[in-house]
Structure 1
């Protein structure tokens, strides 16, 4: 009996020691994460301060697929935005209704609703742009996507850190998105928009890895980031992909379909995820 008691206490002590070591490693990783964010901010600041401005080249509006079917210019680049409309409208309705998605906080309702509103805006803005691509119309293509990305990051912050912080983050990021677009239009300089579109998706991946979730199905966050990177590759390889598949569909149209898959996967996550740490969630309600 004494041996059993000693063995049980040893197991408890070992488990406690391992838990403390895990928490210590997690804390050190969070400190490293914060330092990396600070370093990224400084690098972005110095890049903006010392690099020459980057005007939007007219070549960015010259896509590989210029086919005109049934009187619609750039047909496939236009109609591949339809999935954004379907997923955006359905997601917005379900987020506001509150009975289908697993959403625990009121702040999550606002951030997810703004995300799906941004996705819906992408459908209309991208169609408007691709009917006649130029510098005057591109803002309606980029701004809704930046707003959707801002609200998506804010949803992650609400879920894993706190409601108040997440809402403040949402307001700050949406304001920053509008500022970046206005700056580009006034000064013909895309540096702020490029930094915004590069840093924020990476910040989503890092935050999803560092901070534990209250919900199951967290892998959908990482899957979405992977699809986003795939979409950017498809956009860069627009003409090469168009030639590779024997001129059936261009890389830019594939980018639209890949990006539309992200809100679909996140909607599946919201439908099937479940709460894991109810006590932690109750504490977050007080933040």
Structure 2
């Protein structure tokens, strides 16, 4: 089989992509899905809604957890304003359907998460989970489109958005029957951490963009750690809870993603 060179301006090298490398992400994806299936149901921790933040500001309960979502809106607006003008360019056309979904999900996270944290409980958690799932789905499609321009990202964005919604619906259904299962929802949080570095490495994404996305993935893991240590961080620092800190770190992670993509577009414009 003849290998082809990536010469479309989206990669940092004209190195040929070997056939076995092309199928590696699919094999890894199947392996992750199989691991989730074998593991069995993943339930929400019983004390998940017991957050450490009990601050109040201007009559807003849990103000730290609520107001710390504002950063997501700022990043989403910044991303939309900087990427929208390039949506039909050769550098962004394939990835735009995914990044559009990512930015919409990110913006909706502000309202969903704030609504949930005003009165934490499983009844409101759906509105926090859904936009996060949409953002994860969009990020997958966006990077796939950037690195593999032959993919039909419009269809993929619709398909993964439906899967994201179905995953949240599945959790609601199973939770109401006393056996909540987060596996489909968590899948859209795990896959980007694994597939994005793989795609960018295999298809030689620009070095700066790979660094930006790697920083985002690292910050995301740090944010999840802050979430787990919610009460410990609140007790240690006093002025901020772990969950509030999680929102701030996750905001930085999304900002790194937007910066990485806009940086690539800026370099492409200068090279014209």
Is the Cα–Cα contact under 8 Å of residues 64 and 238 in structure 1 kept in the other structure? yes
Pick closer, same or farther for the CA change 1:251–1:83 going to 2, 3 Å.
same
The two structures, once aligned, show a CA RMSD in angstroms of: 2.7
Once the two structures are superposed, the pairs formed by residues 201-220 of structure 1 within 5 Å of their partners are 201-213=193-205, 216-220=208-212
Q: Equivalent residue for 1:171?
A: 158
Of Structure 1 and Structure 2, the greater helix share is in 1
Cα offset, 1:265, TM superposition: 1.6
Pick closer, same or farther for the CA change 1:33–1:155 going to 2, 3 Å.
closer
Cα distance between partner residues in 1 of 2:42 and 2:261: 39
Structure number with larger C-alpha Rg: 1
Is the Cα–Cα contact under 8 Å of residues 89 and 117 in structure 1 kept in the other structure? no
Report the secondary structure of 2:122's partner residue. coil
134, 138, 141: which is aligned to 2:121?
134
Moved more, 124-133 or 108-117: 108-117
Pick closer, same or farther for the CA change 1:106–1:217 going to 2, 3 Å.
closer
Moved more, 84-93 or 223-232: 84-93
Pick closer, same or farther for the CA change 1:259–1:39 going to 2, 3 Å.
same
Whether 2:79 is the aligned partner of 1:79: answer no
Q: Write out per-residue CA displacement over residues 189-248 of structure 1, whole angstroms, 9 at most, x where no aligned residue.
A: 223223332233322233223322268533111111111111111111111111222x11
Is the Cα–Cα contact under 8 Å of residues 103 and 270 in structure 1 kept in the other structure? no
Cα offset, 1:135, TM superposition: 0.7
Q: Equivalent residue for 2:28?
A: 36
Whether 2:223 is the aligned partner of 1:223: answer no
Pick closer, same or farther for the CA change 1:114–1:199 going to 2, 3 Å.
closer
Whether 2:57 is the aligned partner of 1:65: answer no
Q: Equivalent residue for 2:241?
A: 250
Report the secondary structure of 1:257's partner residue. helix
Cα offset, 1:256, TM superposition: 0.2
Is the Cα–Cα contact under 8 Å of residues 208 and 221 in structure 1 kept in the other structure? no
Q: How many residues align?
A: 249
TM-score, normalised with respect to structure 2: 0.81
Moved more, 131-140 or 208-217: 208-217
TM-score, normalised with respect to structure 1: 0.77
